[in-house]
Amino acid sequence: MMKKYFTTPIYYVNDIPHIGHAYCTLATDTLVRYWRKKLGKENVFFLTGTDENSQKTVDAAKLAGKPIPEYLEGMAKIWRTTFEKIGIEFDDFIRTTEERHLKKVHELFTKIHEGGDIYKGKYTGKYCHGCETFLKESELDEEGNCPDHKKPPVDLEEENYFFRLSKYEKPLLELYEKNPSFLEPESRRNEILNFIKSGLEDISISRETSEFGISLPIDENHKVYVWFDALINYLSGLPDGEKSEFWGEAVHIIGKDITRFHCVIWPAMLLAAGIKPYKQVFAHGFFTIDGQKMSKSLGNVVSPVELAEKYGNDALRVGLIGSFEFGHDGDFSLSHFDGFYNSKLAGGVGNLFNRVVVLIHKFLDGKKPEEGEREEDVLTKFNQALEKQELQRAINIFFEYVGSANQLLNETEVWKLVKEDLEASKKVFATLLQKLEILAEMAEVILPETAPRMRKMLGNAEKVGEPEILFERK
């Protein structure tokens, strides 16, 4: 049986999850649900987790006035329970402070070292703590700041261990050449290919000054560079790691901000360790909130939990994923979200299910008429969209189908027809019920908490169930 392995980035724990993190994790969870439905739960593995061995952790723990382990326990728990609360069903949650991770980091480091691709050297450069990376002069903005963090990088001179990334220029280009879908979407692939072609420099992969992290297996005084450490989570969080039958099928879902780490450094590390690289990286875009960049200073950071508490997990999921194309940048508008909720969920799909079931109770005593024709092509299109990771399109197909069912209901005025021509009205009801069946099936993927409630309303082979309100109007 085919296997699928999906991962999200592992998240920094210097802050609590915001809606950007929820977006990435919900999108991945939605793809995972599709594949679980198709292949069976046991054939899909979904990993998420937290990236803890960072200077950010040290600073945040200090700020919170807590010892690091206590701080980490609390934060990891917040991330894990937040994801659980908003309806994410991961198979495992990896923390980079766990023993299993440390072991894997040491194992990989040793393999790469033994292969001759790690050496000691001096490095002077400009380091951005926000990115946890050295930046080239040419990458800074006019004021000499990191373009992402709007802060000047600090001058660092360190004696470090280096990874021979430069050696992997050609092997990486060959890898990309052979695997057209190694990085999607196309725009990101081109960006990375240009970056590789412009020449790769060796990168420093240890820190002598780090207060916290994993020590090198070959030098107690150095800590493993946080990105070198973090990327390895994709192996340490998978039972049996690279020997697992899931590994060859790994799809890393990430944001576009971290493609260089994932699509240049990570495959080079794997090649250097003699491990077959993952199957694909898919880099989604970034979104603004009502047209503005989300930031603490602007005070527009949206909590996924608050939204989910008000509107429900499923609304959060489709509202976010449906707002813009997966793989592109977009905007999430809070005011549109409210409108979307009321028109598409409460007034759209919720109202449709309720009306049909109420009418069948009222006029047919709850009895289901003969089966109508099943419109498989809609389901096929929906499934194809998900296989191509076109999440927004899948959601659009669902809501267009809701629209077509509502149209049928209104155009036939079945509540009048039933009094004039019972047989004709039964045909309409049968068609409507088939449409609802298909909607309930699609809902298993995009509205997973609503789907069982829909099924309950659709009842058994003979009778429909009790009507309920799927989405309360706000």
Question: Considering the complex, what minimum distance in angstroms separates the CB of residue 467 from ligand MSP?
Answer: 38
Binding flags for ligand MSP, 220-239, as an x/- string (CB under 6 A): ----------xx-x------
Q: Per CB under 6 A, does 317 bind ligand MSP? A: no
Considering the candidates 85, 120, 122, 149, report the single residue annotated as catalytic: 149
Question: Contact 368/461 with Cβ under 8 angstroms?
Answer: yes
Question: Considering the complex, what minimum distance in angstroms separates the CB of residue 464 from ligand MSP?
Answer: 41
Question: Considering the complex, what minimum distance in angstroms separates the CB of residue 308 from ligand MSP?
Answer: 17
Q: Per CB under 6 A, does 90 bind ligand MSP? A: no
Question: Considering the complex, what minimum distance in angstroms separates the CB of residue 24 from ligand MSP?
Answer: 4
Question: Considering the complex, what minimum distance in angstroms separates the CB of residue 54 from ligand MSP?
Answer: 7
Question: Considering the complex, what minimum distance in angstroms separates the CB of residue 339 from ligand MSP?
Answer: 21
Q: Per CB under 6 A, does 12 bind ligand MSP? A: yes
Is position 262 annotated as part of the catalytic site?
Answer: no
Question: Contact 429/356 with Cβ under 8 angstroms?
Answer: yes
Is position 24 annotated as part of the catalytic site?
Answer: no
What is the Cα 375 distance to its own chain's centre? 30
How far apart are the C-alpha atoms of 102 and 97, rounded to whole Å?
7
How far apart are the C-alpha atoms of 269 and 165, rounded to whole Å?
8
How far apart are the C-alpha atoms of 349 and 373, rounded to whole Å?
20
Size of the site for ligand MSP (CB under 6 A): 19
Binding flags for ligand MSP, 277-316, as an x/- string (CB under 6 A): ---------xx------x----------------------
Binding flags for ligand MSP, 184-223, as an x/- string (CB under 6 A): ----------------------------------------
* Of the candidate residues 4, 9, 83, 128, the single one contacting ligand MSP (CB under 6 A): 9
What is the Cα 445 distance to its own chain's centre? 14
Question: Considering the complex, what minimum distance in angstroms separates the CB of residue 332 from ligand MSP?
Answer: 8
Considering the candidates 56, 131, 263, 368, report the single residue annotated as catalytic: 131
Nearer to ligand MSP, 151 or 456 (CB): 151
Q: Per CB under 6 A, does 10 bind ligand MSP? A: yes
What is the Cα 361 distance to its own chain's centre? 41
- Name the nearest CA neighbour of 373 among 418, 435, 290: 435
Q: Per CB under 6 A, does 123 bind ligand MSP? A: no
Considering the candidates 104, 146, 263, 435, report the single residue annotated as catalytic: 146
Secondary structure of 316-370 in HEC code, one letter for each residue: HHHHHHCCCCCCCCEEECHHHHHHHHHHHHHHHHHHHHHHHHHHHHHHHCCECCC
Nearer to ligand MSP, 293 or 310 (CB): 293
Binding flags for ligand MSP, 360-389, as an x/- string (CB under 6 A): ------------------------------
Residues near 142 by Cβ (< 8 Å), separated by ≥ 6? none
Is position 104 annotated as part of the catalytic site?
Answer: no
The residues that touch ligand MSP, with contacts defined as CB under 6 A, are 9-12, 20-21, 23-24, 51, 230-231, 233, 254-255, 257-258, 286-287, 294
List residues with catalytic annotation: 18, 21, 128, 131, 146, 149, 293, 296
